[in-house]
Structure formats: structure tokens, C-alpha cells
Amino acid sequence: MAELTSVDLESLKKNLRTKGRLLPIVAAQVELENNQNTRERDTDYLHPSQICKRDWCPRSSMYEINKEPADKEKSHSFQTLNIFRTGHDIHEKWQGWLERSGLMKQSELDIFNEECHIKGNADGLIEDSMGEAILEIKSVGVGTVRMENIDLYKEYDSGTITMDELWKKIRQPFSTHLRQLNLYMYATGVHQGIILYEWKPTQAIKEFDITYQPALIEHILAAAQLVKQHLKQGTIIDRPTWATEDHKTCKQCPYKTTCWRNDADRRQTGEQPSNEELSGEVFPSRQAERKLTRDSKTS
């Protein structure tokens, strides 16, 4: 067994206060495993799942790559970790089925692009009579809709539509998932992709065929290249223009204290290149995204 850290010990103390005969032990075990996985996670590169989020902050990613001490260790509740595990199990299930059916050419496909300092894994590379396609599997629940399409979520939350109707209204992939798959296509040169959605409440499935849409990831690539440039120069990238100390993303950032401590830190490392390439926001507007995703069709 790996040596327990102070974070592990605090996790144990917290979970052992949980009521029940089984839950305290299981919750503690799950959190210990998550802590270990977190310590083993590669933090030297930008990860597609992170940089494709709408609120990605390149500056925060740089702090992580540079091993800047965090304000506090990020922790998740047992319920959240259980949700993560369910998503992991759904991935394994579909990968196994596709491998045994002969459609999966390679599972856990390595993604790497040094120019943009990107490293990660796609869920698989499919090959059939139509050729190769990058596979991305997503477990989708009400929380996913809340994060990815707040207007649609509000319809459900207000009681205007039922949970079944909420699922039916998902007629194209969410923008974050489209960006992630397009980033995989950019890095691999495979310009066809498939997104599989499994609806966690009922295990209903939707399949989307995706054609490479480079315009969706132009801003991400520009920001990633700028991060690479700053890493090489030993400087720190400017904050996005949306960043404020009261912004939700900034308030939850593990590097908030370092980031906002003193802007003189930036000047001490020398003059930085302009960040105009980022156009203020890392990603295009929602209206632009809607136009760009019209060729993403559901099967």
C-alpha cells in the first residue's frame, strides 16, 4: 500500500465520520483511490478535456504545469466520485463491446501535439467500411445539461419539460464535447469522428457523426501556442479579459491567491507578448458555435 499523505489522512478522518456500517469505509477507500490517481495524473501538458471547457483559463493551466503550490487541495464528495466512477464504467462497457465486435481499431488512443503542448487520450479509433473515426464516449445526465446548456436546463428545472423531454431535446453534441473531438481530429489527422451519448437516468443512447470543423478550435490552438511560448520564455500569460476576483471560475481556482497577489510579479519576468490573439475570450460566441455545429448530425 502506498504511503498515506496528510491529505489522505484528512480524507480518512472526514469519511469515517459518515454514518453507516459500510459507507464510511467505502467512501474513505474511494477518496484514497482518487487522491492516488490525482497524484499520478500528468500535469506537464495541456489536456484536451480541460482546455475545451468554455471557462478555460490558460493562466491557471500554466500555474499547474509550473507546479505552483495550490491554495488548497481540490476535493470531491463521495457522491461526486461515485458519479465519476459511473462515467468510467460506461466508457469501459462501450469500449469492450466495440473491441469484441471488431470495430475498435485502438482503444485509449494517445493524443499528442508538441506545437500546442497538448497531451491526452481519446476513447478510441474506430474502423469500418466507411473508414476511420475518432470515438468519444460521454455519460450525460441532468448535471451535464446544466453545465453545457443552461437555457435547456432551466426548461427542465422550471417543470416546463420532463426528464424524458429533456433528453429528446438534445439533438446535437454539446459545444465542449465538439471542441474536444475536433482537437483530437486536429492532433491525429483523422477528420471523421463519432460521439456516443448515454443518458444516465435511463441508459438511452444517441450517436452523432462529426466532420472536422477547424473553426471550432482556432481560439484554443492560439491560446495553447501562446502558453507554449510563455513556458519557453519563463513568463506567465495574462489573465483572460473575463477574469475578475469575483468571477465564479476565478473564485474556485486553486491558484487564485498567486494569480491576484501582485501584478508586479508579471512585470518582474519581463515584457510579455500581446494576448490579442485570444480575442478576449478563449472560445467563440454561442451564436458562432451554433452556426459551426450544423453539420453535426445524429444517427
Region 157-179 average pLDDT: 97
* Residue at 267: amino acid letter: R
Of the listed ranges 30-39, 40-49, 163-172, 189-198, the least confidently predicted one is: 30-39
* Residue at 122: amino acid letter: A
Q: Which residues pair with 134 in a beta bridge?
A: 125, 193
pLDDT in tens, 195-233: 999 999 999 999 999 999 999 999 999 999 999 999 999
pLDDT of 274 reads 41
Q: How far is CA 28 from CA 33, 40, 147, in A?
A: 9, 19, 28
Extract the runs of DSSP E, i.e. beta strands, from the chain. Answer: 104-113, 118-128, 131-140, 192-199, 204-211, 297-298
Strand order from edge to edge, sheet including 192-199: 104-113, 118-128, 131-140, 192-199, 204-211, 297-298
What share of the chain in percent tops pLDDT 90?
67
Judge contact between 117 and 176, C-beta under 8 A.
Answer: no
Of the listed ranges 37-41, 75-79, 227-231, 280-284, the least confidently predicted one is: 280-284
pLDDT in tens, 100-115: 999 999 999 999 999 9
Mean pLDDT of the chain, nearest integer: 86
Judge contact between 266 and 236, C-beta under 8 A.
Answer: yes
Is residue 294 predicted with pLDDT exceeding 70? no
pLDDT of 6 reads 54
pLDDT of 278 reads 42
Region 30-58 average pLDDT: 90
pLDDT of 77 reads 86
Alpha-carbon span 28 to 2, nearest angstrom? 15
pLDDT of 27 reads 87
Is residue 260 predicted with pLDDT exceeding 70? yes
pLDDT of 23 reads 86
Region 269-292 average pLDDT: 42
Model confidence at 37, pLDDT cuts 50, 70, 90, reads confident
pLDDT of 258 reads 93
Region 81-102 average pLDDT: 95
pLDDT in tens, 113-151: 999 999 999 999 999 999 999 999 999 999 999 999 999
